[in-house]
């Protein structure tokens, strides 16, 4: 009689892992997965992160969830106001959804582009951004000095440039242009960045021009540009003393921009209180909420009340009270306060975790790609998006001075959303170009229609095609460098005539 191997009496048998047919790997039984402890869960997480396309899927999931949360919160923050003003509760969210669709198309287009195309787009985008900023500042100055509100179809409103029904925020385009152009310039200079002369031309003059054009009207966007520059130089390995010098110059420039608000910079006006200085003093010493009537102080107090009212789990989606006219810019710069009131600490934690995942993914892509341009651009985009989120959330929670920048993916704003999704599409292109990801995609390529509709295959690492050098004309090689006939390579199996003449005694001499 045969022995029953599936039962045992008095002893405990250990289930052996099954071997997968056709491979040398083994799979654990399902019962083992149910009892995973902390160490097993950490090992499983490491296994997931070790997959070739982990960066790509982390990027898609974090950005996609932030976009969905943003559309939901824009509807929650604007529905009552839109219904009271125009009778349509979905007016703002419909407009934001249209821009989201445009941004997804920009994401799709950017993830299909190779790195060479992004490098070639840097200079035209930078030129377009500078021209738009010059036109915007010119129109703002003409309106302030002479009351000239428009030039034909062109008109401006502080940060926005209008061409008929088209509304553009040039500072958002300047962020993406600085990423592409700065990464291209630094990657081209390479090891020469150790010299101040190489940093001074042309990087610093162009960056200084952008800082002036953007910072005169929008100090918050200028700080985002500063984060991009810091990310580029940090990824390039610039020395710490360069960062110290840049920090000193940056602080002096910020102080100057704060001072010129008394002369009409930004939304300030000559002879009135400096609103930028008021924001800074309100951060350092918050006045009594009962006596707080200024905009900066009022926003901080109302945002703090919303956070306190939300508690741990919030009052419920759509039930915020500060959005009923109490909190200015509740749908834009202060939308995080609405999230804190309606979703509580739990909802805020979800937002912070998603931005942390986005930061980890961007730096992971920068560490894994081999191309210097991709590494620099990925680091700069990560510094831009995460730095802007930190500035916004820090200002709302009173951990940082209030500057007035939107929260990426979430705040209401078309230009910012489209440009942000385009930058994420570029990161997705870089994630697919990681060496392990490219090899995995070429080993098991998706269907042809998927490659045509979604994204083509990235180039294999080390498979860069180089044109063959032109054949040298007769007599072009110097006589001293010409190879002798006995050094020429002979076909395999064929030996040249190596017969040496003379007697043995003559050869020994």
- Looking at residue 260, its pLDDT comes to 76
* 170-189 vs 203-215: helix crossing angle, rounded to 10: 170
Question: What is the percent of the chain where pLDDT is above 70?
Answer: 77
pLDDT in tens, 368-422: 998 999 999 999 999 999 999 999 999 899 888 888 889 999 999 888 999 999 9
Peptide bond into 293 cis (omega under 30): no
**Token pair for 344:** 């509580």
**Residue 437: Cβ within 10 Å count:** 23
8-state DSSP, 485? G
173: left (phi over 0), alpha (psi -120 to 50) or beta: alpha
As a whole number of angstroms, the distance between CA 336 and CA 323 comes to 12
Per-residue pLDDT for 475 more than 70?
Answer: no
**16-20, 164-168, 371-375: range with highest mean pLDDT:** 371-375
- Looking at residue 302, its pLDDT comes to 84
Pairing of strands 160-163, 154-157: antiparallel
pTM over 0.85: no
- Looking at residue 20, its pLDDT comes to 43
Return the bridge partners of 155, or none: 150, 162
- Contact indicator for 358, 382 with CB cutoff of 8 Å: yes
8-state DSSP, 456? P
Query: Which whole number is the average pLDDT over 329-344?
Result: 91
482: left (phi over 0), alpha (psi -120 to 50) or beta: beta
203 vs 120, residue with greater confidence: 120
Per-residue pLDDT for 487 more than 60?
Answer: no
pLDDT in tens, 33-66: 445 677 878 888 888 888 889 999 999 999 999 9
As a whole number of angstroms, the distance between CA 405 and CA 397 comes to 14
With bands split at pLDDT 50, 70 and 90, how would you rate the model's confidence at 277?
confident
278 vs 507, residue with greater confidence: 278
């Amino acid at each position: 009689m045969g022995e029953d191997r599936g039962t045992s009496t008095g002893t405990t048998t250990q289930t052996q892992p099954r071997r997968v047919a056709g491979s040398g790997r083994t799979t654990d039984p399902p019962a083992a997965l149910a009892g995973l402890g902390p160490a097993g869960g950490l090992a499983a997480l490491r296994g997931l992160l070790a997959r070739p396309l982990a960066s790509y899927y982390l990027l898609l999931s974090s950005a996609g969830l932030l976009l969905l949360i943003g559309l939901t919160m824009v509807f929650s923050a604007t529905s009552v106001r839109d219904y009271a003003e125009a009778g349509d509760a979905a007016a703002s969210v419909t407009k934001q959804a249209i821009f989201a669709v445009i941004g997804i198309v920009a994401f799709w287009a950017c993830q299909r582009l190779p790195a060479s195309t992004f490098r070639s787009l840097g200079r035209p985008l930078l030129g377009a951004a500078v021209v738009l900023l010059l036109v915007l500042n010119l129109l703002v100055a003409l309106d302030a000095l002479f009351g000239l509100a428009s030039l034909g179809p062109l008109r401006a409103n502080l940060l926005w440039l209008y061409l008929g029904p088209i509304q553009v925020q040039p500072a958002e385009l300047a962020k993406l242009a600085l990423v592409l152009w700065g990464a291209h310039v630094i990657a081209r200079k390479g090891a020469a960045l150790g010299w101040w002369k190489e940093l001074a031309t042309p990087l610093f003059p162009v960056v200084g021009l952008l800082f002036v054009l953007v910072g005169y009207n929008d100090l918050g966007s200028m700080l985002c540009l500063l984060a991009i520059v810091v990310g580029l130089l940090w990824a390039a390995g610039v020395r710490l003393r360069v960062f110290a010098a840049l920090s000193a110059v940056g602080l002096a420039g910020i102080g100057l921009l704060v001072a010129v608000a008394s002369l009409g910079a930004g939304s300030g006006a000559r002879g009135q209180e400096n609103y930028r200085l008021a924001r800074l003093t309100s951060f350092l010493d918050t006045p009594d909420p009962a006596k707080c009537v200024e905009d900066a102080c009022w926003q901080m107090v109302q945002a703090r009340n919303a956070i306190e009212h939300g508690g741990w789990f919030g009052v419920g989606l759509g039930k915020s009270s500060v959005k009923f006219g109490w909190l200015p810019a509740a749908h834009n710069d202060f939308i995080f306060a609405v999230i804190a009131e309606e979703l509580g600490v739990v909802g805020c934690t979800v937002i912070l975790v998603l931005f942390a995942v986005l930061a980890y993914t961007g730096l992971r892509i920068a560490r894994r790609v081999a191309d210097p341009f991709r590494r620099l651009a990925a680091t700069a985009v990560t510094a831009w998006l995460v730095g802007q989120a930190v500035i916004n959330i820090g200002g709302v929670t009173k951990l940082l001075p209030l500057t007035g920048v939107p929260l990426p993916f979430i705040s209401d704003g078309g230009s910012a959303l489209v440009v942000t999704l385009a930058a994420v599409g570029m990161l997705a292109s870089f994630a697919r170009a990681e060496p392990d990801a490219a090899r995995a995609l070429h080993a098991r390529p998706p269907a042809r229609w998927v490659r045509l509709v979604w994204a083509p295959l990235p180039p294999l690492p080390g498979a860069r095609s180089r044109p063959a050098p032109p054949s040298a004309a007769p007599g072009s090689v110097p006589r001293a460098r010409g190879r002798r006939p006995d050094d020429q390579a002979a076909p395999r199996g064929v030996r040249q005539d190596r017969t040496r003449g003379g007697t043995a005694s003559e050869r020994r001499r």
